[in-house]
Structure formats: structure tokens, C-alpha cells
Amino acid sequence: MVDFSGFLPAVGGAFVDWIRIFAAPFENLDMLWIIIPIWASWFFAEFFQEKKGTSFGNAISNGVVMLFVGVDWVRYIIRQVGSGTASLDVASFIKLAIAAFIIIFGLSIIFLGVKAKHIVRAIGRVREVTYLMLMFTPVIYGVVDFNFRTFLVILAFLPLFYIAIEILDRMLPTPKTFEAEEEEKDLSKDAGLGQLGSDFGQDVFSSGQLGQQRGQQQQKGKRSF
């Protein structure tokens, strides 16, 4: 028979450590100026923009937020080392590596979003992006020590965070902004504006190519004479 007497307390202790990461900003109020915008951007994007999925534009915006936060982390680390508050040791290099990861991840989301790669709808959703920033900000500010246990706690409870937000998202009513957008789309289709806009876009973006083709044809005509 499997003995769970030691497993359950370990899971409970890990869960408490996970909750403490969320509460860590109250131990260092300097964190609040970056944590509050992260929470605010997550709330409005989650329930007013990404309730029915992530668009390429939303993903790009999320990548920009990650880029800004990563750069701010680097600024904070350099300022701490320069002032003598922290030393340039292994812990500082780990923090710089985490900041570099967030910056590269943000840039990747921006690039993939601009290229309209469908994978960005999965990796660029505000839910996952927010989770990473919330978990690692206390590490950057030195409130939470980053070790293998912390890494496992952050990784293990990511599905719980995702599922909890998904349940909350489904329980809350659909904002009126979505209904208004659907009504505008229906009105545009009824008026034939959607097709007109599509044709107009094709004419604008293809006009340069048509001009080049006509120029090449004229040059070939002159050569034939």
C-alpha cells in the first residue's frame, strides 16, 4: 500500500510557498509599482479582450509588456549592484539570466505575432505571460530566493493558476464590448462593407506590384521594336 503520509504535507508546504510568492510584493513595497500594472493589464486583457481567445494584436501587446518588465528588471539589478546594495555574484547573474529570458520571450512573441504565426496564440496569451512576470518579480527583487525548489513550485502550480482563471473566466458574464463588436461585424456584413474593405485593402497593397508589372511590360514592348 502506498504511503501518502509524507506526500500530502509536502504538497501543502509547496502550495503555501506558492501563495507566499503572490504575497511577496507586500514585503517590499518597491515591487508594487511594477506588480500593480501587471495585475491591471492582466485583468482588462483577460476579461475584456481575451475571453474568447488571443488575437495577434493582443499577443504583440503582451510581448511588449514582457519586454518592458524585463528591461526594468535589468535596470533594477544594475542599480542595486551599482549602489552596493547587492554584489555581482551568482545570485545576480541568475537574476540577469531570468531577465534576459523574459526579454527574449517578449521579443519572440512580438516577432511571431507580426509574422501571424498561430503558435503565438498559445504562448502569447496574457494569462501565461502574467504568471511568469508575477512569479519572477519577487525573485528579481530578492524577496524570494531562486532555487530548484522555487523553480519546481512555479512550474508545478502553473496548471492550477491556468485552470482557476479559466473557471473564473467562464463564470463571469461576457462583457458588453464583445456583444458590441459582434453587432458591428453583423452590420458591416449586411451593408457589404466587409467585402468592400477587403477589396480596398487588396487594391492598396497590390498597387505597387501592378505598377512594377506594367513598367516591365512597357520595357519589353520597347525592346521588341
Tens of pLDDT, residue by residue over 54-81, are 888 889 999 999 999 999 999 999 999 9
User: 69 with 126: CB under 8 angstroms?
Assistant: no
Q: What is the phi-psi region of residue 134: left when phi exceeds 0, alpha when psi lies from -120 to 50, beta otherwise?
A: alpha
Structure confidence at residue 191 as a pLDDT band (50, 70, 90): low
User: 63 with 124: CB under 8 angstroms?
Assistant: yes
pLDDT tens across 29-41, in order?
A: 888 888 998 999 8
Output the pLDDT for position 31.
87
Q: What is the pTM of this model?
A: 0.74
User: 24 with 143: CB under 8 angstroms?
Assistant: yes
